[in-house]
A and B are shown apart, each in its own frame.
Chain A
């Protein structure tokens, strides 16, 4: 961040120097174009909001904290890898897209509130969302990398799995007997519930591989909203506009992790 600030300062002065003859002559020159390009590059570099299209199957994504700001914690955000994603009664995007989309934003996009996980100093990896059912791979990646925090993000459906179902609530699950998991679950509920559709629920996820096996003790499993509920889907998608809707609330993951770990 410090180098970005200094670089921006140099950019401003360089732009002023290049623009000096134009100001004096009153005519635009090739230097004007260069100055505009420099200013544009500086503006782009300085921007903390970098929206990206993540509405498709994607690979591993890594967001690390800016130089000198790493807080020592590694966070792994696991995306759904359902083999039948898109055939689970989704009213909107496929479940694998929903989870990946949210994770990407929570990891790296400052939505104008209080910063994504990387803004807060965390090193973050987001798993792929391939339709391969290979949750073991996600766990292995996280364990090999030494993840301290492991959060799974899925979206929910009732047993029937058809659109349109009235069921709608946030569900956050924990590993029984692991206090770090219970604590993280509590903070996720606290921060997510006011923003997500419907009420809230929580119970253990002791039978699920991604709840049992990750080495990270700070782990939780989130079912963010019901993808079978049209109004919940509308909330998440924000009328389909990239960067709007539910993902604007993705800073709440960072807040929950920060509060749970007491702002390391």
Chain B
């Protein structure tokens, strides 16, 4: 036995304190395991499916969010392919520039079981295309921007320097050329959500007025009063109070720790009810999305070019 006997000869008075510390370590460890397990169990037990999860573009759970990310990244890849092909027809060796953030893209790769090969190029596609641009003669640069955006080189240069779009061009600037063609050829998973934005926002705002949230606000207020003596109705009241009186920070933290779980649980119940109503009101649109993306994940999983791209960029992502 490697462990010496508990009542060995060195166990005198001096060993008592360390043993107390060991007991304390075990007690703290056990307490943390229990707290974590209870929190986890309460999350799982209270988890009611989000009604819109099944519709691509409306994912609310982590799993549905990953599905949406996968589709969105694949669509970005296909748009980038279209732009590169279009620019090639215009006479430019434009690098495949997938405009999707690297972090989420790495998560998509992991979700598809793609392993990085480590063959990350020294420069990103964005940097390669910038180098191409800077190597062009003024005449070629004009053709380049006309081909890519349908705009003059002067207008593009002015926007990059001033952030301003040319007068009178607010709605359509730089949305033509190969970029416009690719956008039209590969619609976005987010299109329906954007088209229904007015309804989405109205539904979101209505959550606060549901009976569930009224009950939740009452419980939240009672909790805040009990743990910190604060007279508030909602989390927003707490943070607003801190802005006007920073001395209330500690009280606000106590309310945050003890009372936000009440808010989150109530919010989830209210949210599910509101999105069910949204689903019924927009059934035809949502069914359309479901049809459009039927079997999409199989298509993506079978797209070797996309998976090859993900393998090549690996965990480094598409930007440096």
Contacts and interface: CB of A to CB of B under 8 A. Distances in A.
Nearest to B167: A207
A144 B99 contact: yes
Interface of B: 2-6, 8, 10-11, 14-15, 18-19, 22, 25-26, 28-37, 39-40, 43, 50, 57, 59-62, 65, 68-69, 72-73, 75-76, 79, 99-104, 107, 126, 130, 159-161, 163-165, 170-171, 173-174, 188-190, 193-194, 197, 201, 204-205, 207-208, 234-236, 239-240, 242-244, 249, 252-253, 256, 263, 267, 271, 317, 319-320
B164 A207 contact: yes
Interface SS, B side? helix
Interface residues of A, number: 71
Interface stretch (A130-138, A158-166, A228-236, A239-247): A130-138
Given A13-B29, A208-B163, A258-B235, A24 B6 contact: yes
B72 A145 contact: yes
A130 B242 CA distance: 36
Contacts of A203: none
Nearest to A115: B256
Interface stretch (A47-55, A60-68, A91-99): A60-68
A146 B170 contact: no
Contacts of A125: 101, 103-104
A68 B11 CA distance: 47
Contacts of A30: none
A225 B97 CA distance: 34
Contacts of A3: 36, 40
A259 B239 contact: yes
Contacts of A190: 240, 243
B3 A24 contact: yes
13 contacts: A4-B36, A13-B30, A16-B25, A21-B3, A24-B8, A24-B10, A24-B15, A84-B161, A114-B239, A133-B160, A135-B160, A136-B174, A208-B164
Contacts of B242: 113-114
Given A24-B3, A144-B72, 11 more contacts: A8-B36, A9-B33, A23-B15, A23-B18, A60-B317, A114-B239, A134-B130, A135-B160, A140-B99, A194-B243, A209-B164
Contacts, number: 213
B36 A16 contact: no
Interface in A1-58: 1-16, 19-21, 23-26
Interface string A202-225: 000011111010010100000000
A209 B104 contact: no
**Interchain residue pairs A-B with the least CB separation, the first 4:** A62-B103, A133-B160, A9-B32, A12-B29
Contacts of A264: 204, 267, 271
A264 B319 CA distance: 31
Interface of A: 1-16, 19-21, 23-26, 59-64, 67-68, 70, 72, 83-84, 113-114, 123, 125, 128, 132-137, 140-141, 143-146, 180, 190-191, 194, 206-210, 212, 215, 217, 255, 258-259, 261-264
Nearest to B166: A207
Contacts of A70: 61-62, 65
Contact of B165 (A62, A212, A261): A212
A12 B72 contact: no
A26 B236 CA distance: 54
Contacts of A262: 204-205, 207-208, 234, 236
Nearest to A124: B103
B99 A137 contact: yes
B190 A146 contact: yes
Nearest to B175: A213
Contacts of A4: 36
Given A70-B62, A217-B201, A20 B3 contact: yes
A134 B26 contact: no
